[in-house]
């Protein structure tokens, strides 16, 4: 029986004891009153001279005495009940004390077990956190190896444009030549224009991608064309209309990882390409820029021109993305929230300067 159950039974026993003691007192009082009445009747019988009155008083004496005896018996019965109840109260009080002690001991044992379990869980979490820190540290080391110290060479940007006739549903032809022209003009006006080199490959096929990576060894890969969350669309190597060839972000990542010096930055200036950024960064591409949703021709052109102009002026990658977004907003275009920047590991795009000082030092990171 639990302590709470014993406590309720003890409460009932205490009430029964109190009630029995009350009844005992009432019947003892009644017994005393009846005996006094019997004595008065007997005394009155001794004083009267009337035989009839004497007999009546003697009869009353007998009745009152009998009532006193009955009240005495009732008092004795209730006194026994009070005694039994008192014994039960004492027994239940002892049991309640023990039950409360036992339950307190069990609660303390449970609390100690829960504390031990919580400490074990905390140790496991700390071990897992330590493992993640080590893993992150290893990733950062690996990423730092991917981002060598600046060297005196031009920033190489491979630009692939693709606009097959069979574009993705809901998309139309693109003004890719216009984008190429605007990018070139923007960089030509930049402070460090002599330290930026482009390789433009139009109507780009998957083979152009591989050739560009191995022949040009770009620091930056820029793709303009059609895409969605799952593919980018290259062209087929054939004349006339073609449906294009879909390349998944995993395949693109494998192509980039296959070369000895993969790009440090990939820019997917195409619709809904932000859905591919996680895959590219998981494959170790340090920095990736993509679009959250469909982006119009004019928006894409304005963003690209300002993005590369900012880089060629010696600003950081984070600044280039932010400046490109502001340029869209200032032009009154709706796509200012579309360009997003993702990065792998614990690297800071605000510390990535693709073009360095006028003295000529450029590279992949400050």
Instruction: Please give the structure tokens belonging to residue 361.
Output: 């030092």
Mean pLDDT: which of 42-46, 47-51, 72-76, 349-353 is highest?
A: 72-76
How would DSSP label each residue in 81-143?
HHHHHHHHHHHHHHHHHHHHHHHHHHHHHHHHHHHHHHHHHHHHHHHHHHHHHHHHHHHHHHH
Q: Give yes or no for residue 362 having a pLDDT over 50.
A: no
Q: What's the confidence (pLDDT) of residue 328?
A: 96
CA 358 from chain center: how many Å? 47
Q: Evaluate if residue 321 carries a pLDDT over 90.
A: yes
> Using one digit for the tens of pLDDT, what is the confidence trace for 227-277?
999 999 999 988 766 788 999 999 999 999 999 999 999 999 999 999 999
Report strand pairing: 245-247 vs 232-234. Answer: antiparallel
Does residue 172 register a pLDDT over 50? no
Give residue 99's pLDDT band: very low, low, confident or very high (50, 70, 90): very high
Judge whether 149 and 363 are in contact, CB under 8 Å: yes
- DSSP per residue, 305-332: HHHHHHHHTT--HHHHHHHHHHHHHHTT
Residue 173, both tokens: 């032809």
Statement: residue 364 has pLDDT above 80: no
127-171, pLDDT tens digit by residue? 887 776 555 444 444 444 455 454 568 999 999 999 887 455 554
pLDDT at 152: 63
Three-state SS string over 12-43 comes to HHHHHHHHHHHHHHHHHHHHHHHHHHHHHHHH
Locate the DSSP E strands across 192-345: 196-201, 220-227, 232-234, 245-247, 265-270, 287-291, 339-343
CB 182 within 8 A of CB 301: yes
Least confident segment among 21-35, 117-131, 192-206, 300-314? 117-131
Per-residue pLDDT, averaged over 88-102, amounts to: 93
Cα torsion at 65, 66, 71, 75 (round to 10°)? 90
Give 332 or 128, the one with higher predicted confidence: 332
Position 25 pLDDT exceeds 90: yes
What's residue 359's pLDDT? Answer: 53
Rg value, the chain, Cα? 49
Return mean pLDDT, the chain: 88
Q: What percent of the chain has pLDDT over 90?
A: 72
pLDDT at 91: 94
- pLDDT tens digits, residue range 103-138? 999 999 999 999 899 889 988 888 887 776 555 444
Average pLDDT over residues 56-85: 94
Task: Name the least confident of 144-148, 223-227, 316-320, 332-336.
Answer: 144-148
């Amino acid at each position: 029986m639990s302590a709470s159950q014993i406590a309720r039974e003890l409460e009932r026993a205490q009430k029964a004891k109190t009630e029995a003691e009350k009844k005992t007192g009432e019947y003892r009082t009644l017994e005393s009153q009846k005996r006094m009445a019997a004595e008065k009747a007997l005394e009155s019988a001794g004083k009267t001279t009337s035989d009839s009155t004497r007999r009546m008083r003697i009869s009353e004496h007998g009745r009152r005495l009998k009532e006193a005896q009955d009240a005495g018996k009732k008092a004795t019965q209730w006194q026994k009940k009070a005694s039994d109840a008192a014994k039960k109260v004492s027994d239940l009080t002892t049991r309640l004390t023990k039950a409360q002690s036992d339950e307190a001991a069990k609660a303390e044992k449970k609390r100690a077990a829960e504390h031990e379990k919580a400490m074990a869980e905390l140790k496991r979490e700390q071990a897992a956190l330590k493992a993640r820190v080590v893993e992150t540290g290893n990733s950062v080391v690996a990423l730092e190896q991917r981002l060598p110290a600046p060297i005196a060479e031009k920033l190489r940007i491979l630009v692939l444009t693709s606009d097959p006739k069979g574009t993705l549903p809901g998309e139309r032809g693109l003004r890719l030549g216009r984008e190429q022209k605007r990018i070139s003009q923007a960089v030509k006006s930049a402070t460090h224009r002599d330290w930026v080199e482009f390789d433009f490959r139009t109507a780009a096929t998957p083979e152009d991608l591989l050739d560009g990576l191995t022949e040009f060894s770009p620091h930056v890969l820029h793709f303009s064309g059609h895409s969605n969350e799952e593919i980018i669309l290259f062209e087929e190597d054939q004349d006339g209309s073609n449906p294009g060839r879909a390349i998944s972000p995993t395949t693109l990542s494998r192509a980039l990882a296959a070369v000895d010096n993969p790009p440090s930055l990939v820019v997917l200036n195409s619709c809904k390409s932000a859905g591919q950024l996680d895959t590219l960064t998981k494959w170790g591409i340090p920095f990736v820029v993509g679009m959250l949703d469909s982006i119009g021709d004019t928006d894409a052109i304005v963003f690209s021109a300002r993005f590369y102009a900012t880089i060629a002026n010696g600003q950081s990658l984070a600044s280039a993305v932010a400046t490109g977004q502001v340029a869209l907003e200032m032009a009154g275009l709706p796509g200012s929230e579309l360009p997003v920047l993702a990065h792998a590991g614990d690297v800071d795009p605000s510390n990535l300067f693709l073009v360095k000082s006028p003295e000529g030092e450029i590279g992949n990171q400050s």
